[in-house]
Amino acid sequence: MLADAESLRTDRERRFVDLIARVARDRDRDAFAALFGHFTPRVKAYLMRLGADDGSADELAQEVMLTVWRRADAFDPTLAGVGTWIFTIARNKRIDRVRRERRPELDPDDPALTPDPPAGADRTVEAAEAGGRLRRAIATLPAEQRELLVMAFFEDKSHRAIAATTRLPLGTVKSRIRLALGRLRSSLEEA
């Protein structure tokens, strides 16, 4: 059953949240080892998809996991899932290291930040559940839309570069991205 597979994924995601909490609170090395075993190969594969060789992908993946260990207390389960948080760390480290650029990131505690409106009743689903729903929604996207997301995330290609590579008009790339994101967003809003 789809629903069962989804609740299994949600359970697993909740387990990751619990592991991060144990790392943050108790500096629990067993909890960290469990996260290390799951995420290190994925982060490494991500970096290799983006062109890193085996050695430097390995080294950078270790650095990402070290940041997870050191910054576990900064993880906020109400904002994002564990996989999402680790993805953003890997993305930023890669930009710092490979491009030798600073990743411009806003500071959520900046007093100049325009604050979020109060959360309404339509607040989207729990981050732990969102991950599972998104994965299912991505799997059911039309291939031409999924391919664009994969190129954006795994091939370091801006939408302009995607248009150039695929020889699609820029407008077509933009409208496919809009369609894909609309479907993903509504997958999170279904009851």
Partner 1 sequence: MPAHHPSEALLLDYAAGDLREPAGLVVATHLALCPECRRHVGLLEAVGGALLETLPVEDLPADASTRGAAALLARAAATDGAAVGASPPPRFDAETCRLVPEPLRSHLGVNLKDIAWRKVARGLDTHELAAAANGFRTRLLRIGPGAAIPRHGHGGSESVLVLDGGFSDEHGHYARGDLALSDAETVHRPVADPDGDCLCLIVVEGGVRFAGALGRLLNLFARY
61-120 residues in contact with partner 1 (CB under 8 A) are 62, 65-66, 69-70, 79-81, 83-88, 90-92, 94-95, 99-107, 110-117
Question: What residues from 150 to 179 belong to the interface with partner 1 (CB under 8 A)?
Answer: 150, 152-154, 156-159, 161, 173-174, 177-178
Question: Least distance to partner 1 from the beta carbon of 3, Å?
Answer: 18
Query: What DSSP string describes the chain?
Result: -HHHHHHHHHHHHHHHHHHHHHHHHH--HHHHHHHHHHHHHHHHHHHHHTT--HHHHHHHHHHHHHHHHHHGGG--TTT--HHHHHHHHHHHHHIIIII--------TT-TTSPPPPPP-TT-PPPHHHHHHHHHHHHHTS-HHHHHHHHHHHHS---HHHHHHHHT--HHHHHHHHHHHHHHHHHHHH--
CA distance 12 to 5: 11
- Comparing CB distances to partner 1, the nearer of 4 and 110 is 110
Question: Least distance to partner 1 from the beta carbon of 96, Å?
Answer: 10
Among 20, 52, 60, 130, binds partner 1 (CB under 8 A): 130
Question: Least distance to partner 1 from the beta carbon of 1, Å?
Answer: 20
Question: Least distance to partner 1 from the beta carbon of 137, Å?
Answer: 8
Question: Least distance to partner 1 from the beta carbon of 9, Å?
Answer: 9
Structure-token match 């190129």, residue found: 151
Length of the chain: 191
Among 71, 149, 166, 183, binds partner 1 (CB under 8 A): 149
Among 21, 134, 168, 183, binds partner 1 (CB under 8 A): 134
Question: Least distance to partner 1 from the beta carbon of 132, Å?
Answer: 9
Question: What residues from 7 to 66 belong to the interface with partner 1 (CB under 8 A)?
Answer: 29-30, 32-34, 36-38, 40-46, 49, 62, 65-66
- Comparing CB distances to partner 1, the nearer of 14 and 49 is 49
Q: Are 24 and 75 in contact (CB under 8 A)?
A: yes
Q: Are 20 and 35 in contact (CB under 8 A)?
A: yes
- Comparing CB distances to partner 1, the nearer of 1 and 123 is 123
